[in-house]
Structure 1
Amino acid sequence: MGDKMEFSDEEKHEMLRAFTNLLKDANGKGPKNIYIKYLKHEVHIVMQGVVSDFEKHLIKNFGNEAIKVFTDFYERDSFHSEIRFLEILNHKYKFKFYKLDSDFENDLFVYKMKII
């Protein structure tokens, strides 16, 4: 199997579309940029352009205090996102969310799941 878990192009497209739709449902719009890194035992969904204008406003005015609150909310919501993501894919794959890397200032997030 080498260094990466193998998914067909169709499966990769299906996963990308599912996560993009999940973000559209949650935010009313999709991310500006999204791609998936397929590793041997993990899938990382890299997203940019998901922070709302209001969140940007609060970050600008309240800095780290706002970032701390948003980080907590985003991380808690990530567990719900795993459930919705797997439902959209009809539980065809077995993934388990374990970490969200958040960079609010650059509007860059990495949603990390283990392949189980």
Structure 2
Amino acid sequence: MPDIIQDAKTFRADRAWGARDIARIDGASVRLHWTDQPYKWHVNDGEEVFVVLQGVVDMHYREYGAEKIVQLSPGDMFVAGKGEEHVARPIGEARVLVIEREGSV
């Protein structure tokens, strides 16, 4: 029987960037995150896909040493490649689907 997620719009974790595991697919994790606080600057050991489901997120990243920012709204996606430094900073509450290598930061 398939899993049906009907509360993605109302999911709330007990802490910023708390998550619900949705699926594991061939070494990748799919997680629903809730947050109202920035994450931390980090680099992943593989690609990471962010899909903003609700809220607005300013995604900061470094390109050739210069900090850049792109604002993501519901339905927008951001793909951080392996080794690309980035940090997500929500404006208020946000719900974000994240797909990344299992065990990644």
Q: TM tier, shorter chain?
A: 0.3 to 0.5
Higher relative contact order (CA closer than 8 Å, sequence separation 6+): 2
Could you state the TM-score of these two structures normalised by the residue count of structure 1? 0.31
Name whichever structure is richer in strand by fraction.
2
Structure whose residues are more often helix by fraction: 1
